[in-house]
Structures are given as structure tokens and as C-alpha cells.
Amino acid sequence: MHCHSLARSTQLLTFANSVLKRSSTTHRYVICKNASTVSSPIVVASIDTSTTTASCHSYGGKQVIQVNQALYDYVLAHTREPQVLRELREETSSMRGSQMQVSPDQGQFLAMLVRLMGAKRCIEVGVYTGYSSLAVALVLPECGHLVACERDEVSLGVAQKYFGRAGVTQKVQVHHGMAIDTLIMLLRKGQANSYDFAFLDADKRVYRDYYELLLQLIRPGGLIVIDNVLWHGKVAEPQEKDAKTESLRRFNEFIRLDTRVDVSMVPVGDGMTLCRKRDMV
Ligand SMILES: C[S@@+](CC[C@H](N)C(=O)[O-])C[C@H]1O[C@@H](n2cnc3c(N)ncnc32)[C@H](O)[C@@H]1O
């Protein structure tokens, strides 16, 4: 049975989980991953209650928390962000595309996953100025290795500066160029089934292509984390029919049915799906 209300509650959670900035001239909401980039005036979506209830009776009145601005600020205030990541976030905040950066709580979540897995070999598709890459690299052991794929030279320059500042340059292999080419190259070099962890955060319209390549590169039991799966809540709004929203909907449905992986869609940031590669792929 379809349960749009549950999707709606997830969307609201994600929507409120981001910081909302409303321009006084256009009255359009802009969702920022990065709280510190928000400049005044800030108008927060008004949310009267602190929970959303699944309206399908089969969920037994299950309530989930709504993350309004006060609560999200509380989450951020209880997030451990290394100094070097804070400095990177602050420098990025004045750059074009700063809203693309993962939030500190997302960075901490990625680092926690890497630590829990004891991951040594990681891949990131979509580095930008390096926040998520650095969050991962900082918790890799000295023998650890992160393949960082990014096509934009300017943002990559900032990332490399901070990799140096954090003393992790030796752990990060930067690949400037189209990420698909890099992933294919890794496979041609015989690196299938050799990576522990991948983070996918690049062009949403070709997520499926990246995913198929990453699934080959990841070992059984390894993890692929995919960002922006809720796409500012648009995936749950039927009237939203732009190409990125449609492709994310198709991708999310594909992942739901993909028996090669165990899955969990988590409404952190703009929504992250965790895919653990099963043994029999
Ligand atoms: C959402 S941002 C990544 C944010 C990053 N994870 C962070 O936390 O700061 C997406 C990045 O993917 C890059 N990108 C998009 N398409 C790409 C491609 N085909 N190959 C390599 N990089 C690509 C963009 O240049 C952009 O910097």
C-alpha cells in the first residue's frame, strides 16, 4: 500500500532538518546544508507541533520527530566538528555552491560509519571543497586511502589546501576529471571488490551509473552512502517533475527493489541512503 503521508512526514523532517533562508524580495525558501552560511534575515518554517504522525493506520499512530530550527541548532551544538573542518566550512561559506557542502552532523555521521566499519579503502564521488572527504580522511588509519573524484579544479584547490592543513594529504588520492572515468579506470586496474566505503554526492541525474560502478568496486559487506535522496523534499511532492527530482525518484525506487544490497534511507541532512553490499552480488 502506498503511504504518501509517511513520505510526507519524511519530507518535512528533511525540510526542517536543513536551515531555511527566505529572501525578503522573492519569498522563496532556499535550503542550505550549511548552517553557518546563512545570513540574516532568517525566517524559519513555522512548525506547530514537535512530531509528525504516520497517517496510515497500519503504522499504529507512529510519531516521528520534526526538526525545526531550534532543534537543528541543538543538534549542531551537540555535533563534534574538528577545528579544521570548521575552518573549511567557514571558508566555503562565501563560495559559489556552498549549499552543496554536507552539514557538520552529516560529516560526523559519515565519519562514524567509517570508524564503525574500520574502513581503510574509501571512494568519494563529488568532493567540492572537501568537507565530506576530509571528515572521512581524518578518521582513516594512517594506512587508509581515499579516492577523491571531482571535476571542478577551483573547489578541488580548496580541498587540497585543507587536506594539507589537516595532515591527511598522504591518505587522499585526488582524481581531477569526470568521476565515471575514474571509477572505470579503477575497475580496469583490477580493483573490483576492494573498497570498504563509498560516498556518492555528485550529479543526481546519473546516480544509477555511479552506483553500478561503485557496487562493483565495493567489497561484499562494504557500504555505499548516497546523499540528497530526499532532494529538499521534492521526491515526495507529485507536482515536482523536473529532471533531477524524477531521476531521484526512479533511483530511490530502484534501490528499494535492489536485492544486491541491504538498504536504509535516513532523513539526515537532505536524506542519505545507506546501501550495504550483500555477499551474493
Ligand atoms: C554536492 S557537491 C559535493 C559536496 C561535498 N561532498 C562536500 O561535502 O563538500 C557535488 C560535486 O560534484 C561535482 N561533480 C558533479 N558532476 C561530476 C562529475 N561528473 N565528475 C566529477 N565531479 C562531479 C561538482 O563539481 C561538485 O563539486
Q: In ligand 1, which atom is closest to the CA atom of 179?
A: 20
Q: Mapping DSSP to helix (H, G, I), strand (E, B) and coil, where does residue 125 land? A: strand
* Residue keyed to cell 569526470: 178
CA separation for the pair 215, 229 (Å, rounded): 17
Same domain, yes or no: 176 and 256:
yes
Q: Is there a contact between 7 and 236 (Cβ–Cβ < 8 Å)?
A: yes
Rg (CA), the chain: 19
- CA 229, CA 99: separation in Å to the nearest integer? 16
Same domain, 91 and 66: no
Ligand 1 pocket residue status of 155, Cβ below 6 Å: yes
If asked whether residues 59 and 105 sit together in one domain, one would say no
Q: In terms of residue numbers, what domain contains 98? A: 83-277
Which is the closest atom of ligand 1 to the Cα of 107? 8
Tell me, what CATH number does 244's domain have?
3.40.50.150
Confidence of residue 281 (pLDDT cuts 50, 70, 90): low
Identify whether residues 225 and 95 lie together within a single domain. yes
Note the pTM of the prediction, 2 decimals: 0.85
* Residue 32 pLDDT greater than 60, yes or no: no
pLDDT digits (tens, 9 = 90+) for 147-167: 999 999 999 999 999 999 999
CA gap 111, 168 in Å, rounded? 14
Region 230-243: what's the mean pLDDT?
96
> Residues 165, 223: one domain?
yes
